[in-house]
Structure 1
Amino acid sequence: MISADVFTQSDFSARFEWGYEGVEYVGNASDIVVIVDVLSFTTCVDVVVGRGGVVFPYRFKDDTAQSFAMENNAIVAGKRGEPISHSPATLRAIPLHTRIVLPSPNGSTCTVLAKRGGGTVIAACLRNASAVARYINRHGGSVTMIASGERWPNGALRPAIEDMIAAGSILDQLTSHHLSPEAKTAVASYRMAKNALLPTLAQSGSGQELISKGYVEDVHVAAAYDSSECVPILGEQMGYTAC
């Protein structure tokens, strides 16, 4: 059996991996872990935190999520179509300083797992890519970009290209870091798509899923590159707030 140590990218200060296992084997050995879930968890985080709010990630949407929300004076996000939901387009109209519990099997779960590693955890998307890159360049240390991806019906990871592209856009700006081959591949994906971000997202599997359900505006909001200066940092109380 091959040791998992060969997959840690530990010879490099900037790394890239996917999903839960990427957090466990690569991210949790880094000073900074950046969670990327463009459609739509981390885009929602950027929108809410940019309005002075707080986002509490939670792994499951069940009765415990409601209890967790009550403990934190927050509201559990509902389905798209509800006033507070996983729709970043809808969240642009919420009151300032709203506190939201945002359950997600992808970005939220990766956040919860990353918190266990003890490093700084950041939520990133295309909207705040350059702001996050500047934060990382200022603070230094090792960094792992985690593309959260999506899930197939059987629960297996479905890599989502929008997450790799957004991660690559940040890695491309880390001028003082030594990028792993995995990180360089993410950069290449961003450079391929950077002049056509909206069409690329709209034509991707994740984008097509949202558009087919009537949520094309969510794709437009997610593709608004560098429209935000917000850097959401996960705090001790498990809430993302602006740094």
Structure 2
Amino acid sequence: MPPNAGRWFTPARARQTGRVTSRDATSAHAQAGHRVRFDWALDGALAVAAGADVAVVVDVLSFTTAVGVALDAGTEVLPYRWADPTAAAFAERHDAVLALPRSVAGPDDLSLSPASIRAASGARAASRVPAASGARAASGVGTASGVRRLVLPSPNGSTICWHLAERLGVPTVLAASLRNAAAVARWVADRPDAAGLTVAVVAAGERWPGGGLRPAVEDAWGAAAVLRGLADALGDEALSPEARSAAALAPPGDVTAALAACASGGELAADGYAEDVRIAAEVDASRVVPGLVDGRFVDVARP
């Protein structure tokens, strides 16, 4: 990823004031007038989530899958901007462990890999694992013996979630994947105020080496699962044309095989992370609904 991957285009008003409002995107790009909206990546998120009550971010390989796996194990997740040198200090302030990038993580290190988080949950300790000392101290690494809070930067999903919450001020930011799409859609639809909600669904996508958006089909599939659930509960007429078109997408045949065969899945497998792809294909295996509360993803479906 380019060094500025976490600092993509932000409207001029947002750069000046630190917040984004519905006036920063035209009504057309915001899909104004539609209760359920859909778009891609950070720019699309800032457009369609302006004025929204709920934003659902989908980053199947692998941020939102990793968040769900962590919450399944009782670990809270704090999203953060990618490649930000302040991440270690942020983790320390929040009594959390900072995950390493996959590319430098060792076998016992926590990273963006859902498999690393699942391995940690199998060896949980009663208290958090402190940041490692010595050569890895600057990264604030947690080893796979259990953590209570995990700071999990990523260039796409985590960065988008951070911007939606901290810059745009969306009241409710949720993380969905193929593992919990049905649970997320059901939780939104079951809210007492569901009839009046505006919901923005964002497929995170990936980035080309030059920094441009690479639409990732796995995120389209995950977003479609959420959108179909919302359409079933709220009616097709609630969806924008973009959202209705996106809802029609589905993986061809076996989900595990489709994920393994897609570009992102093949890339991960080639780098030694085939297990992450298999975990991401656990369709509707999780009932957790990761929602940002005070900057942390917690299971908002729990009473």
* TM-score normalized with structure 1 length: 0.93
Q: How does 1:20-169 map to 2 (within 5 A)?
A: 20-80=42-102, 81-82=105-106, 83-94=109-120, 95=124, 98-115=148-165, 116-139=168-191, 140=194, 141-169=197-225
Bigger mean CA offset, 7-16 vs 132-141: 7-16
Q: What's the offset of the Cα at 1:62? A: 4.3
Check if 1:240 corresponds to 2:290.
no
- Counterparts of 2:50 and 2:28 in 1: how far apart (Å)? 15
The question of 1:172 aligning with 2:172 is answered: no
Shift of 1:79: 3.0
Asked which structure has the greater RCO (Cα within 8 Å, sep 6+), the reply is 1
Range that drifts further, 56-65 or 14-23: 56-65
Asked if structure 2 preserves the Cα contact closer than 8 Å seen for 1:149 and 1:157, the reply is yes
Offset at residue 180 of structure 1 (A): 1.3
Q: CA deviation at 1:195?
A: 3.8
Tell me if structure 2 keeps the 8 A contact 1:28–1:119.
no
The whole-number CA distance in structure 2 between the counterparts of 1:110 and 1:34 is 10
Shift of 1:90: 1.7
Please tell me whether the aligned partners of residues 55 and 170 of structure 2 are also in contact (alpha carbons under 8 angstroms). Answer: no
Question: What is the identity, as a one-letter code, of the residue corresponding to 1:196?
Answer: D
Name which of structure 1's ranges 10-19 and 55-64 shifts more when overlaid on structure 2.
Answer: 55-64
Structure-2 separation of matches of 1:79 and 1:39: 14
Equivalent-residue separation in structure 2 for 1:231 and 1:59 (angstroms):
22
Contact 2:183 2:289 in 1 (8 A): yes
Are 1:201 and 2:259 counterparts?
Answer: yes
Uncovered stretches (5+) of structure 1, i.e. residues with no partner: none
Q: Deviations over 1:48-104 (max 9, x none)?
A: 111111111111334311000000111111133432111101211212552111111
Question: Is contact 1:148-1:163 (8 Å) kept?
Answer: yes
**1:127 partner SS:** coil
**Partner letter of residue 147 of structure 1?**
A
Query: Which stretch has the larger CA shift, 205-214 or 80-89?
Result: 80-89
Number of residues of Structure 1 aligned to a counterpart in Structure 2: 238
Percent of pairs identical after alignment? 43
Q: 1:49 to 1:145 in 2, by over 3 A?
A: same
**Following TM superposition, where does structure 1 have runs of at least 4 consecutive aligned residues deviating by more than 2 angstroms?**
60-63, 79-83, 95-98, 116-119
Q: Is 1:131–1:230's contact at 8 Å kept on the other side of the alignment?
A: yes
CA distance in 1, matches of 2:72, 2:50: 27
Give deviations 1:183-223, integer Å, cap 9, x for gaps. Answer: 12221112xx2642112211111111101111111000001
Amino acid paired to 2:38: F
Supply the distance in 2 between the matched residues of 1:112 and 1:101 (Cα, whole angstroms).
12
Q: Does the residue aligned with 1:100 lie in a helix, a strand or coil?
A: strand
What is the letter of the counterpart of residue 93 of structure 1? Answer: A
Structure 1 residues 53, 171: CA separation in 2 closer, same or farther (over 3 Å shift)? same
The structural deviation recorded for 1:170 is: 1.1
Q: Could you tell me how far apart the structure 2 residues matched to 1:210 and 1:42 are?
A: 16
Comparing 174-183 with 98-107, greater Cα deviation is found at: 174-183
Contact 1:39 1:206 in 2 (8 A): yes
User: Aligned Cα RMSD in Å?
Assistant: 1.5
TM value normalised by structure 2: 0.75
User: Radius of gyration: which is bigger?
Assistant: 2
